[in-house]
Chain A
């Protein structure tokens, strides 16, 4: 039996659970969660099996069926395309989604009948994301892409009675929609130029395609990724998306939504690589996003806010890696480009594990203290040992301390960016931004960790512990995913040393096989590695001294002058929400007002004018209908006479 022939079942299984819960789940209460676990779990088993088969044999499997026949030349197809990248995505998405669903059964326990809706939507979310990964053409991807957007809207607005949640859901939907429109434009260009959406056919047709049009296609496809993966300047929806349940945040940030954008960039990598400018643009957006988001995370007041900015920042790294890869590929460095491609996806995988863990840990913390405000926490380490230790592992990992997973991938991304710097100076600047981001990442993660688990217990902690409702920190269904993900956050970086190594498995056309010894020598003989380690350690030390030892008072630093202004600017998220509103208000509302005026005065003016003219004219003409039969006779006579005379004059009667 060839398991790959059954790969199409992977998204179908969670979707079956979705249909079942959706139609019959109303009265099932607790059972809903177990059905969801069953559906997503079955999908996961199949996905892991498929991925194992793909990665061990190195096969590429594709099937396709004609779906819509537009004309004899143009058809849309549905199909499955499985290669090493899809395999990695399958592992990440299905596994984390499964853990999140398990965690949800405990976390959403107090939600009553709402759980029915929650598990329905979560199953749909997981199913369509897996469908997106399996797609064999850009159009099918787009269909699932939109469904992912819909699910994120539904789940972010899960507590729809809260105005902030409803607003956040709308914002997420509308802001990503800007990207989706660009994605569509990209698709149109691709289809008119190449006549196909199929990945393989597109990649093969690139050599003969018009480079200018391909650059435009790449640019617009990347625009889709900017929206979905919350890249600068469309990043602002992701921090707001924290309004949903924490499990949803974990799913969006680690497994589904935002990874879709990176996956799109990976799938359109060859198209992007046709143009140096677009590659540079991709890298620049990634680098800027990483830096900007990390700076906003420095002083975020809420625990999930820190994590949200952190996600945006780490996504920036992934995009930076892919952009650098495309740039290197364009300049003929195919092996290095392929490594950079792998590095971006490697970071995606590692990030998914530690960020999934951090969100679920944050969920456990919020579950315990019933507040998201960091200032209200503190000293929770005594009561929440498992959460504390697992989150510490993830924090070290994301900060980039060897040998945890975050170190390997972040270092690789920075290394390829530095390499791309040889070909384009801009990438040197981006590398500097990347190193600064690494420093800030270490700082804000440990700021969060110290503020939550160490120091004096603040109001929220006291409130939660005094009443003594919580004897245990969280049920086992919540702790188990935390521990598993923490183990992966620790160890997923060692994928570099399994078999041919990560870059020998996940690559673009050129596998880069290194043994463990070679890899270690390569990493630890490079001065760049030490620069990023120093950046990470100094970030952690700064957080340690200011939030644990309190030798440096953060309040004092930001109390006056430039730091105060900067602090306020960061709290205002660089005024981005205001800017969105302004653009929305001035641009869209202003334009609408203009249209309203046009409609009111020009269109209505013409219509009303015609009507008024006819009424007036009718008022004048109807006086002729005076009831005097002789005046009619007179007019008749005059009329006939005039006609006869005219006919005579023009010569008809002659």
Chain B
């Protein structure tokens, strides 16, 4: 049995990597991928606590989250596809029309 702390350290590292990627990457697809990493960190947490407390609710939520993440990615990719069609770019710095 892997101790809970180990898992938490791993997921923390994963989450920070993801967050850093969201903030620093310029490519929208990369940002999307980093969001997925953060999401996965959270899901692993759910599973870890589920096994730690011996409660299946966490695992149920994990499955649920995976499903939602798949749907979310589908929509996000569709948006990016359209964006690429209209602006010929997926660089988030280029996409700053909605501002003051």
Contacts and interface: CB of A to CB of B under 8 A. Distances in A.
A622 B92 contact: no
A573 to B, nearest CB: 70
A626 to B, nearest CB: 5
Contacts of A622: 100
A626 B96 contact: yes
A68 interface: no
Nearest to B99: A627
Contact of B19 (A627, A628, A629, A637): A637
A228 B53 CA distance: 96
B98 to A, nearest CB: 6
Nearest to A634: B23
B92 A626 contact: no
A469 interface: no
A626 B23 CA distance: 15
A628 B96 contact: yes
Contact of A627 (B22, B23, B98): B98
A625 B95 contact: no
Nearest to A621: B100
A101 B94 CA distance: 94
Given A633-B22, A634-B23, A637-B19, A626 B95 contact: no
Contact of A633 (B23, B96, B98, B100): B23
Interface in B1-33: 19, 22-24, 31
B93 A628 contact: yes
A634 B25 CA distance: 12
Nearest to B20: A637
Contacts of A627: 95-100
A450 B80 CA distance: 112
A637 B100 contact: no
A551 interface: no
B11 to A, nearest CB: 16
Contact of B100 (A625, A629, A630, A634): A625
Contacts of A629: 92, 95-96
A283 B19 CA distance: 96
A528 B24 CA distance: 115
A625 B97 CA distance: 11
B99 A630 contact: no
A625 B23 contact: no
Nearest to A625: B100
Given A633-B22, A637-B23, A628 B100 contact: no
Q: Which of A625, A626, A627, A628 gathers the greatest number of chain B CB atoms within 10 Å?
A: A627
A629 B98 CA distance: 10
Contacts of B100: 622-623, 625-627
Contacts of B99: 625-627
Given A622-B100, A623-B100, A630 B19 contact: no
Interface in B67-100: 92-93, 95-100
A628 B23 contact: no
B85 to A, nearest CB: 19
Contacts of A626: 96, 99-100
B52 to A, nearest CB: 18
A626 B31 CA distance: 19
Interface string A600-640: 00000000000000000000001101111110011001000
A467 to B, nearest CB: 87
A625 to B, nearest CB: 5
Contacts of B97: 627
Nearest to A629: B92
B59 to A, nearest CB: 24
A201 B27 CA distance: 96
B27 to A, nearest CB: 11
Contacts of B22: 630, 633
A153 B100 CA distance: 63
Contacts of B98: 627
B80 to A, nearest CB: 12
A623 B99 CA distance: 9
Contacts of B19: 637
10 contacts: A623-B100, A625-B99, A627-B97, A627-B99, A627-B100, A628-B92, A629-B95, A630-B93, A633-B22, A637-B19
Interface of A: 622-623, 625-630, 633-634, 637
Given A630-B23, A637-B19, 11 more contacts: A622-B100, A626-B99, A626-B100, A627-B96, A627-B98, A627-B100, A629-B95, A629-B96, A630-B24, A630-B31, A633-B22
Closest 6 CB pairs of A and B: A627-B96, A627-B99, A622-B100, A625-B100, A634-B23, A626-B99
